[in-house]
Amino acid sequence: MFDDLKKTFLTGIDFALKSKADIEKFAKEFAKESDMNKAQAQQFFEDCQQKYEGAKESLDQKIESTITKIMVRLDLPTRKEIEELNQKIDKLKDIISRQKE
């Protein structure tokens, strides 16, 4: 039963949405209540940290991908495109100012 509960907790988007402090608190409480020895508790805590980081990274990538898709659909310019346009504008301003002289 312990392994099933552990696997259940270590999966899903819910894990990624919890704060690191929440994960640490859960791991410590769970280890204490399940009478783990020190080595088991440490391993469980490390497993929780690894799963947290993996879930968080995966969620971040999915959010970034979704935002990119939305920007493409809305036909919004990227930062790079805006910077390139600004450089072109600056060059044109330079040319115009030299012609006025």
Question: Is 5's pLDDT higher than 70?
Answer: no
Average pLDDT taken over every residue of the chain: 79
Position 1 scores a pLDDT of: 43
**pLDDT score of 47 more than 70:** yes
Q: For the chain, what is the domain count?
A: 1
The predicted-structure confidence for 48-92, as pLDDT tens digits, reads as follows 788 878 877 887 888 888 888 888 888 988 889 999 999 999 999
Task: State the Rg of the chain over Cα.
Answer: 25
The residue range of the domain holding 7 is 2-100
> Of all residues in the chain, what percent carry a pLDDT higher than 70?
82
For residue 16, give Cα distances in angstroms to 38, 49, 62.
26, 11, 12
